Amino acid sequence: MSATAAQGWVRKNQEQNWLTRLLDWKPFLVVMCLLPAVALLMVFLTYPLGLGIWLAFTDTTIGRSGVWVGLENFEFMMEDPIFWNAVFYSVFYTAVATVGKFGLGLWLALLLNNHLPFKSFLRAIILLPWIVPTVLTAIAFWWIYNPQFSIISWVFIELGLRDSNIDFINTAWPARWSLIGANVWRGIPFVAISLLAGLQTISPSLYEAALLDGSTGWQRFRYITFPMLLPILAIVMTFSIIFTFTDFQLVYAITRGGPVNSTHLLATLAFQRGIAGGQLGEGAAIAVSMIPFLVFATLFSYFALARRKWQQGESND
Amino acid sequence: MSATAEAPPAPSSATAPPETLSWDSKSRRMVTIWVPLACFLLILLFPFYWMSITAFKPNAELYDYNTHNPFWITSPTLDHIRLLLFGTSYPRWLLTTMTVAICSTVLSLIASTLAAYAIQRLRFKGSQYVGLGIYLAYLVPPSILFIPLATVVFQFGLFDSPIALILVYPTFLVPFCTWLLIGYFKSIPFELEECALIDGATRLQILRQITLPLAVPGLISAGIFSFTLSWNEFIYALAFIQSSERKTVPVAILTELVTGDVYQWGALMAGSLLGSLPVAIFYSFFVDYYVSSLTGAVKE
The per-residue DSSP string of A51-109 comes to: HHHHHTTB--BTTB---B-TTHHHHHHHT-HHHHHHHHHHHHHHHHHHHHHHHHHHHHH
Please report the pLDDT score of residue A70 as a whole number: 82
Q: Would you mind telling me the total number of residues written for chain A in this entry?
A: 317
Residue B92, Cβ density class (10 Å: 0-12 exposed, 13-18 middle, ≥19 buried): middle
Chain B closest CA to A226's CA: distance in Å? 11
Coil, strand or helix at A277: coil
Domain B88-299 has CATH 1.10.3720.10: yes
- Confidence band for B14, pLDDT divided at 50, 70 and 90: very low
Which residue in B254, B275, B291 is closest to A253 by CB distance?
A: B254
For residues A86-115, average pLDDT:
92
Secondary structure letter of residue B20 according to DSSP: P
ipTM for the whole predicted complex goes beyond 0.85: no
- Taking the CA of residue A47 and the nearest CA in chain B, the distance in Å comes to 9
A230 touches chain B (CB under 8 A): no
- pLDDT value at position A180? 94
Q: How distant, in Å, are the alpha carbons of A118, B10, B272 from that of B19?
A: 17, 19, 44
- Which domains are present in chain A? 18-55 (no CATH), 72-310 (1.10.3720.10)
> d(Cα A77, Cα A289) in Å, to the nearest integer?
10
The string of pLDDT tens digits covering residues A7-63 is 444 444 455 567 777 777 788 888 888 899 999 999 999 999 999 999 999 888 887
* Phi–psi pair at A174, nearest 5 degrees: -55, -40
How many Å apart are CA B53 and CA A140, to the nearest integer? 11
Residue B158 half-sphere exposure, CB side, CA atoms within 13 Å?
18
Is omega for the bond preceding A259 within 30 degrees of 0, making it cis? yes
β-strand partners of A58: A68
User: Is residue B180 scored above 90 in pLDDT?
Assistant: no
Q: Name the residue facing B202 among A20, A44, A116 (closest C-beta).
A: A20
pLDDT, one tens digit per residue, over B261-298 is 667 788 888 889 988 888 888 888 887 777 777 766 66
Instruction: Give the separation between CA B27 and CA B6, rounded to whole angstroms.
Output: 20
Select from B147, B155, B186, B212 the residue whose CB has the most chain A CBs within 10 Å, as the one to mutate to test that interface: B147
Q: Give the gap in angstroms from C-alpha A1 to the nearest C-alpha of chain B.
A: 35
Round to whole Å and give the CA distance between B202 and B194. Answer: 11
pLDDT at B9: 44
Q: With contacts defined as CB-CB under 8 Å, which chain B residues touch A272?
A: none
| Residue-level length of chain B | 300
Asked whether the beta carbons of B255 and B207 are under 8 A apart, the reply is: no
Number of neighbouring beta carbons within 10 Å of residue B284 = 12
φ, ψ at A272 (rounded to 5°) = -60, -45
* Domain locations in chain B as residue ranges: 1-55, 88-299
Instruction: List CB contacts (< 8 A) between A106 and chain B.
Output: 8
Q: Are B184 and B220 in contact (CB under 8 A)?
A: no
Q: By the 8 A CB rule, do B147 and A20 touch?
A: no
Nearest CA in chain A to B271: A136
